A = this chain, B = another copy of it.
Amino acid sequence: MKTIRIETTNHAYPVLIGSKIINQLPKLLIQTGISQKTKILIISDENVAPLYLQVVVDQLNKFDAISYVVPAGDVSKAIGEVEKIITYAIQHGLDRSSVILALGGGVIGDLAGFVASIYMRGIRYVQCPTTILAHDSSVGGKVGINHALGKNLIGSFYQPQFVLYDTSFLTTLPTREVRSGLVEVLKHGLIADRQFVDWLEKNADSLLHLDQEAVSYALKQGIKIKADIVMEDEKEQGIRAILNFGHTLGHVIETLSNYQYLHGEAVAIGMFFAAKLAAKLGWLSKEEEAFYQHLLQKFKCKTSIPKEYDTNQMMNIMLRDKKFKNGQIRMVLPIAIGQVKIEQNIDPKFIFETLNELKR
């Protein structure tokens, strides 16, 4: 079992990663000061609950566990779902000393964490992530839901008591979700750690097959990188922006495909786009650009943009992105393998060209 300690201004908490470690749950709860008999509301979704809810409930026999299951997917990150969960919580006697347990992927983590942050002005919560992508969402304290007019517009910063990551839960993940999640691990390597990138390149197959040792290591490294960046910049004033590497074009592709592309699938294209643009600007060598392509392909990611997408429309969507300040195109671009920088003033001409070159 690997343990990482996350420190924020007001709160420190551990992330525990390992195969078949769900049996550590009761001990961890007690260590965190959550005493036996405490009421624990498990929030999960319709895919995860049939697989793992009973396993978790069994671990909680000394506590007073109840559960609430929402539909799977981003549709559940909605204010109506928050209201239903709160109603259920009140009716079942959740009080200020109770705890919420998020059992699921990033959707459940974001939703359950948000409910915890506003229920009776904030109660404690813990996370048991069940997707690879959730290694990203379980660090940084961002919780929240979507609004009909945009994703993640409602939320808060709220930290869990601990994160318990049982990697054996990942084995039931659909293949596309595995690949998509691994892209965020790649991203963490590509923005900050060349050695880790080399390790990822060598271990691509083991990771895609969910080799437990390899996955634990990759999640640990990914979380460490994200945690370091987040600790430096809790409220997103500066450096944290590099976590958006690949996400500007990624969001465009998610939007234009009407979310037919999974998040990681879209981000992979976005990262390759950034590498290609950086090469065009002379910051990345042709070899490094080729390595990007090689790496992403090893992880079974597409690196081209559907040729039917209109380049002008993509440019316009990017310009509306909240990550662009005052209409200036601001992007995270690689300057080496394992290193990126934030660039404020990119000539739109080069962006336009690169988009066109990526179409296939």
Contact = CB atoms under 8 A, between A and B. Distances in A.
A91 interface: yes
| Chain multiplicity (copies) | 2
A155 B144 CA distance: 14
Interface in A164-213: none
A9 B148 CA distance: 35
A20 B66 CA distance: 54
A154 B87 CA distance: 11
B153 A119 contact: yes
A82 B114 CA distance: 15
A79 interface: yes
A122 B157 contact: yes
A144 B119 CA distance: 10
A120 B146 CA distance: 10
Contacts of A79: 79, 82-83
A2 interface: no
Interface in A230-274: none
A86 to B, nearest CB: 6
Given A9-B10, A149-B91, A322-B95, A122 B156 contact: yes
A147 interface: yes
Interface in A110-160: 117-122, 142, 144, 147-150, 153-157
**3 A-B pairs closest in CB distance:** A121-B155, A90-B149, A118-B154
Interface of A: 9-10, 79, 82-83, 86-87, 90-91, 95-96, 117-122, 142, 144, 147-150, 153-157, 322
11 contacts: A9-B10, A79-B82, A86-B154, A87-B148, A90-B153, A95-B322, A96-B322, A118-B154, A119-B153, A119-B154, A121-B142
Given A90-B149, A119-B153, A119-B154, 20 more contacts: A9-B10, A79-B79, A79-B82, A79-B83, A86-B147, A86-B153, A86-B154, A87-B147, A87-B148, A90-B147, A90-B153, A95-B322, A117-B156, A118-B154, A118-B156, A120-B154, A121-B144, A121-B156, A121-B157, A156-B156
